[in-house]
Structure 1
Amino acid sequence: MKQIDFYLDFLSPYAYLAFETLPVALQGLSVQVRYKPVLLGAVLREHGLRGPAEIPAKRAFIYRQVLWLAHEHGVPMDLPAEHPFAPLPLLRLALACGAGPQPNRYICETVFRHVWRGGADASAPERLQQLAAELAPPRDPSGEAAKAQLRANTEEATAAGVFGVPALVVDGRVFWGLDALPMLRAYLEGDAWFATSAWDEAPRRPSALDRKP
Structure 2
Amino acid sequence: MSEKIIEFYFEFGSPYGYFAANQIDELGKEFDREVIWKPYMLGTAFAKTGSVPLREVPLKGEYCMYDWERISAYTGTPWAVPDKFPTAVLAPPRAFYWLMDQGRTDLAKTYAKAAYKAYFADKRPVWLAEEAAEVASECGIDKQEFLTAVQDAHVKSRLIEEGQKAIDRGVFGSPYFIVDGERFWGWDRLPMIRDWLQQGKWS
Amino acid at match of 1:20: N
Task: Report the 3-state secondary structure (helix = DSSP H, G, I; strand = E; otherwise coil) of the residue aligned with 2:150.
Answer: coil
**Is this contact kept in 1: 2:80–2:121, CA < 8 A?**
yes
Aligned residue number for residue 207 of structure 1: none
Cα separation, 1, equivalents of 2:136 and 2:201: 46
User: Do structure 1's residue 106 and structure 2's residue 110 form an aligned pair?
Assistant: yes
**Is this contact kept in 2: 1:166–1:176, CA < 8 A?**
yes
Aligned residue number for residue 176 of structure 1: 185
Of residues 128, 131, 152, the one that matches 2:132 is 128
**The 10-residue stretch of structure 1 (122-131 or 108-117) with the greater mean CA deviation from structure 2:** 122-131
Identity of aligned residues (%): 26
Aligned residue number for residue 157 of structure 1: 166
Cα separation, 1, equivalents of 2:93 and 2:26: 25
**The 10-residue stretch of structure 1 (116-125 or 83-92) with the greater mean CA deviation from structure 2:** 116-125
Deviations 1:45-83 (A, max 9, x none): 122222212214322221211111011011111111110
Cα separation, 2, equivalents of 1:78 and 1:31: 31
Residues 1:56 and 1:189: Cα distance change in structure 2 (over 3 Å) = same
TM-score (norm: length of structure 1): 0.81
- The aligned runs of 1:35-114 (5 Å cut-off) are 35-98=37-100, 99-100=102-103, 104-114=108-118
> Where does the alignment leave 5 or more consecutive residues of structure 2 unmatched?
none
**Is this contact kept in 1: 2:11–2:175, CA < 8 A?**
yes
1:27 Cα deviation after fit? 4.4
Residues 1:47 and 1:110: Cα distance change in structure 2 (over 3 Å) = same
**Is this contact kept in 2: 1:95–1:101, CA < 8 A?**
no
Cα separation, 2, equivalents of 1:65 and 1:123: 23
1:192 Cα deviation after fit? 4.6
Amino acid at match of 2:51: L
Cα separation, 2, equivalents of 1:187 and 1:177: 15
User: Do structure 1's residue 191 and structure 2's residue 203 form an aligned pair?
Assistant: no
1:123 Cα deviation after fit? 2.5
Q: CA RMSD in A?
A: 2.3
**Is this contact kept in 1: 2:149–2:155, CA < 8 A?**
yes
Of residues 117, 123, 129, the one that matches 1:119 is 123
Residues 1:157 and 1:189: Cα distance change in structure 2 (over 3 Å) = same
Task: Report the 3-state secondary structure (helix = DSSP H, G, I; strand = E; otherwise coil) of the residue aligned with 2:177.
Answer: strand
